[in-house]
Structure 1
Amino acid sequence: WGEKNDDNNIGTVDHSLGTPIDTLFSLESGSPISVDLTDIINSSGELSFGLGVLDPSDNVSFYSKEKLLTDGAGGYAPQMSVWPSLSFQQDSLSVAYDLAFTEGWNLISVPFDGLNPHPQSVFATLIKNNQLVYVSSPKGFYKPNDPLGTLDSINSKDGYYIKASGSESNIYFRGKAFSNASLSLSAGWNLISYYPSYELNIEDAFADLIDANNLQYVAGFDQGGLVYDPDAQGTNTLHRLMPTKGYWVKINQAVENFSYPEEGQSGSTAMIANNFIEHPDVKPNPSFMFVKGQIIGHYNVGDWVKVLSEDRKIVGAIKIIKGGYLRNSPVYGDDFTTEEIDGLKTGELLSFTYNGDTLSSQIKFYPMSFKEVELDYKAFLPSTFALHQNYPNPFNPVTTIQYDVPDNGPVTIIIYDLTGRKIKTLVNQVSTPGRYSIIWNGTNDFGKSISSGMYFYRMEAPGFKSVKKLMLLK
């Protein structure tokens, strides 16, 4: 906090907001006071005021949106007139939120009235701190200093993807409480705000849509994609709606004047926690689909089945839950804000890997689609020899190479440099049928680290030869 004089206001300033506020008195909860303001600020006509209460122990402050000072020859001086009487009603009070962003993508809403709706104003704190990377919605995008941006207004009824560059990014919203608490939903997908100031279980929030068999899916995004399917209770990851978050809602038929139930009117009492899908090899972004299903064969509850792209990138991870079911989990496409291709392309085939065995599938990536898979690992035996592309590639310092052996016989896999000089023998043994994985740490046959660059790895077996490239980066 600090003092500020300018042509808009005078008094203390919340620097995180950049908003001048005339803090007149501090009170304790339940201890109201009255004060004559005529000697402090004088004006005439109708003025607009706000009363902000962050929590019962916070200060209560009056502030004015009008110009309170006149710039005269001798400097700033108060305007001379009579201060009007003040009265407040609950629906006209100012509300404030301190919303923390995680590094990367966030799905939020700004459910307030009385704000300057331009993204440059709403996200001024992030822009000032050089932490705002991108704002995206079905209605357009905003990127700081990009003249081609198509999003010029933040609607209090919509949801927005925000990409932040800092792990401790905060933004402060301050405005009137949401006055028109109803939403119009179209058939299909809708990206909407969650405007209540309280949490709700998802079954309570959408009870009417569920009872009418009109709700298909609800999807959220908090450290990654979350989903609620009313027909698949056991594998859902989204259970609770949170204030100032945004949510995708897919319905069969359009609905006018949808609203969330009032606090305390819901049928359930216990709040159910969301099941966040966090895996260190997966990079969440707004382009995703959902995959659920079942695994057959030997498995451990709590293990992960990884989802691979055609070039062996890890684009998703699905946790095995009780009964061998695969929790409904996001599989990610490419993050359009990065230069590298770090996810699936539309129409690309998915494969699944668990305990070193990889199964192909006919599932193709399409954003906001839902697929189900059955993975049978109980009798996986390759029908042909195969040498797979290493992953990750490029790599530093470790990469994995998988290969298939259909029959008993000798198998060798050797790393060569570009001149054909042998660098490292990875495999030289008689192998039984199965799928194998070998890890290479970028060292030669003498255990010494090799220099960065392009290398080849060659597999030989009876009647089979295959060579692939790999890249070591340091």
Structure 2
Amino acid sequence: MYKEDVVNEIIINYRNWKQLMKKFICSSFFVFSMVALNAQSVWQETNITKEYIWSFATAPNGYIYAAGNSSGVYRSIDNGLTWTPSSAGFTELILKYVTAVTVNKNNIVFAGTFGGTVYKSIDYGLTWTLVNPSYNLGAINCIITLSNGDLLAGSDVIGVNYSSDNGVTWIQKNYGISNPKVKSLAQFTNGDLYAGTDSDGLYKSTNLAVTWTSIGFKTVSTKITSIVKDDLGTLFVTVWGQQSLGNGGLFSSANEGVQWAKAPVATSVQAFSSAITNSKGDIFISVFSDGVYRSTDHGKNWNEYKSGFGYAGIQALGIAQNGILLAGTYGAGIYKTISPTTDIVQSKGVTANYALYQNYPNPFNPETTISYKLQAAGKVSLKVFDLLGREVTTLVDEFKQPGNYKVIFNAKTPYQNRRDRVLTGIASLHSGVYFYRIEVGRFSKGMKMLLLK
């Protein structure tokens, strides 16, 4: 073949290739578009994108706290949409990061660290104080608030520890536990306590941790990572097993551990990291490298629940008061579900006809209008908060009929609805980011606005 023929062959092949690629690109775009349209995302990223998150705790006032590596504790006041780091008062975060967090009924927050220390915050997570300088718990894995207000912590070094004075002093409570490497703790409405260990199974106490009784899973190379009960009283535990042994999974017991059954979760991965339930009784579990699964029938069937999740290394699950599900990851920060989990399975979402709109104008000075829509009559709460989570004012706090509403927020007189406005000593607000949040029935939503003077 001559040079000209070679060139012509190349040109012909190039033209054919171009036509083929055009068809391929068009077809691929069509398929991709159809997939994108048909696969509705469940999850979305938050503003915390590069962090290791170990646990969540939701306070009675609705604030949510997350334990992280580099910035101590993260806090959200808008059901997990945005998060603010708080490390003021932590003295050892470089090597001894926060691993566990809990909140009591008075909204006092406690944080346990990898270094064995416990910190307390009495101002909603803004500042922290070391409470146990004279007693080190050693590599805290979990910490919970008991129904009587006392604290229970589990560690890798000295097992279960009990505090009746807000974490100042601690007493070891390991009687009956063979290997005190405690990975998870739980207490349920009847007062019974459960402790999950590393390679020593699951334990139960009916006398506030005075004694413990083994109820299964004494298997080498397994860790009980979480313990939950559904609304029927069935006990569920997630087990982080070894891939080569195939001994991980989700297990359930309807008779307090006398008999156990492995749940039919369609995954080959053995690293089950967390479980949680919502107010409807749905169960959610996380598999470290395989996303989230959900059951709406008390664990009989499980479906994937990970559309829109950009990272599958999930370590912890949490839930907001309005049913939003949260996922803490290994190095990719915090994800949240786009809609409350209590509404997603319904053919017509309960919150579909509720709305909170972006304020206008935004940025604003000094006034802006906030609009919202109600599907049904109900008690409406619409409040404004500053960047630190402090309430600025209550714009609406009354019963409303269905319809569309507007309310004006004035930054010059933000405290006109506050009974304590005289004590604030502030006549107007400074420039910056503020949040407004609406709550009515099961609908809750928060948004940001910017004041520029």
The two structures have a TM-score, normalised by structure 2, of 0.25
Q: Which has the larger radius of gyration?
A: 1
Return the structure number with greater relative CO, CA threshold 8 A, min gap 6: 2
